[in-house]
Amino acid sequence: MAIKIFNTLTKQKEELIPIEPGKIRMYLCGPTVYDFFHIGNARPFIIYDIFRRYLSYRGFEVKFVMNITDIDDKIIKKSADEQVDAATVAQKYSDAFFEDIKKLGIQPADKYPRATENIPEIIALIEKLVDKGLAYVVDGDVFFSVSDFQNYGKLSGKNIDQLKSGARIEVDSRKKNPLDFALWKTVKEGEPYWDSPWGRGRPGWHIECSVMSMKCLGETFDIHAGGADLIFPHHENEIAQSEGATGKQFVRYWLHNGFLNIEGEKMSKSLGNFFTTREILTQYPAEVLRIFFLMKHYRSPVNFSEELVQQAQNALERIITTISNIDVALDQSQRELSGEAALTESIDALRDGFIAEMDDDFNTAGAMSKIFDLVKEANLILTKTQYSDADYLALQKIKETIVEFDSFLGILSYKQHQQTTITEEALIEILLNVRSELRRRKIFDLSDEIREKLIALGVEIHDRPDKPIWRKK
């Protein structure tokens, strides 16, 4: 069956037909490394990791590239604030980025090109645009001339006049059109710079992505992804630069995720309404964040609240508990199983349904509902007092199906995670709470036994009127 994806360029779901049969070349706009990334930024990192792995699961050979924007106004501002050079800021936060995406269970991209490592290629592309009359030089700055590119606005679905009235653009009398954007910025006092035919300066953000994506994936590639805030101007400008220079279609399918909102507003650094992914990861394991995003369609907005994350965690625990109950049941089977699994038709239908949902523009929310249905089927069997071979085989089949899908969902590692966080302190607290309850119910033989066993393990217990206190000898 064909995979369909919603293409922002055509505003419709289209069948995914790769340029080269069996191969997908995919680019995701990566982070600007001037700070720790927030949980809104984590949405594209997580969902496109899942999509990329799903495409591999469906048999495509996927080449996945994510850039690192390591020179930018925000990095320069941070370097001035922190009194260190821009390269130090970029290194610190790109190291942090790699640590955080690893913790999120994101598989490494095939390439992570950096803007500062591609300056000669960036200069070459700008020169080409100048030669073709699509860019012009003013006082050491180079601007792209949007009115000289025929299809400017095709991704946003607006013409230049509509875009002009909707955009917040700085007034710069040197530009021919207010929407013209900088390809090269002349150096200012104290800023990092590179030599170029237009003097010392640095590249604009949009040209970096055109250069790095085409260098790694070719002049025309299959999928370009990012958050919906990048449609205009970033991706619109990438199209203008790339197609202006090559005369070829730049990207076949454009994918954009919806925002993560907090109290109805987009989470963003500039609004200050953000939590860093690092902070959130101290409260919730990565698998909870993954299922939190999986339970929504990637193009829909998603609200971030304690309550919704907790719901995601409960849903994940339902899956994990069922799988471990299946393991316990299968351990008890202790015999060669034969015959056909129970519920075969319904398990197969849920399995096919899951794939059909994923094939339909990566509808992870619909796909997850099939997993929950599988879990329900398993629990119906697990409530029985005795299992037949057919029951055992059904449990096995359900587990294998979920484990197979986890090759791209990346949520089942949650259990191990939980185990590593069990502490001695937490267990002692649990035992002491049980002991208090036993005392309250006047079951003193058992409560004394807990006390003696803990003392034998070197735990001192002092009973206070409100609650016992303890310490290790």
Please tell me whether residue 233 binds ligand AMP under the rule CB under 6 A. no
**How big is the site for ligand AMP, counted in residues (CB under 6 A)?**
17
Sheet bearing 221-227, strands edge to edge: 61-66, 23-28, 221-227, 251-257
Select from Zn ion, ligand AMP, none the partner in contact with residue 204, using the beta carbon and a kind-dependent cut-off of 5 to 8 Å: none
Distance between CA 164 and CA 263 in Å, rounded?
30
Binding mask 116-135 for ligand AMP (x = CB under 6 A): --------------------
Name the nearest CA neighbour of 238 among 8, 36, 3: 8
Which 8-state DSSP code applies to residue 19? S
Select from Zn ion, ligand AMP, none the partner in contact with residue 68, using the beta carbon and a kind-dependent cut-off of 5 to 8 Å: none
Smallest gap, in angstroms, from Cβ of residue 389 to Zn ion?
A: 55
Select from ligand AMP, Zn ion, none the partner in contact with residue 32, using the beta carbon and a kind-dependent cut-off of 5 to 8 Å: ligand AMP
Smallest gap, in angstroms, from Cβ of residue 17 to ligand AMP?
A: 25
Which position's Cβ is nearest ligand AMP?
227
Applying CB under 6 A, which part among 10-18, 227-235, 238-246, 275-283 lies near ligand AMP?
227-235
Binding mask 249-268 for ligand AMP (x = CB under 6 A): --------x-xx-----xxx
- Confirm if 462 and 470 have CB atoms less than 8 A apart: yes
Residues that bind Zn ion (CB under 5 A): 29, 209
Distance between CA 382 and CA 371 in Å, rounded?
16
Which 8-state DSSP code applies to residue 252? E
Classify burial at 425, counting beta carbons within 10 Å of its beta carbon; exposed 0-12, middle 13-18, buried 19 or more: exposed
β-strands 459-462, 201-203: how paired? Answer: unpaired
Applying CB under 6 A, which part among 38-46, 104-112, 348-356, 434-442 lies near ligand AMP?
38-46
- Residue 242 CA: distances (Å) to CA of 149, 214, 215, 219, 408: 11, 8, 11, 8, 32
Distance between CA 70 and CA 92 in Å, rounded?
11
Query: 């015999």: which residue's tokens?
Result: 335
Smallest gap, in angstroms, from Cβ of residue 267 to ligand AMP?
A: 4
Please tell me whether residue 31 binds ligand AMP under the rule CB under 6 A. yes
What are the residue ranges of helices labelled H in 34-85? 39-57, 73-82
Select from Zn ion, ligand AMP, none the partner in contact with residue 209, using the beta carbon and a kind-dependent cut-off of 5 to 8 Å: Zn ion
- Lookup: tokens for 69: 């924007």
Q: Tell me which of 3, 9, 16, 29 binds ligand AMP, using CB under 6 A.
A: 29
Whose Cβ is closer to Zn ion: residue 209's or residue 342's?
209
Whose Cβ is closer to ligand AMP: residue 69's or residue 313's?
69
- Which residues partner with 143 through β-bridges? 136, 182
Interface residues toward ligand AMP, by CB under 6 A:
29, 31-32, 40-41, 43-44, 226-227, 229-230, 257, 259-260, 266-268
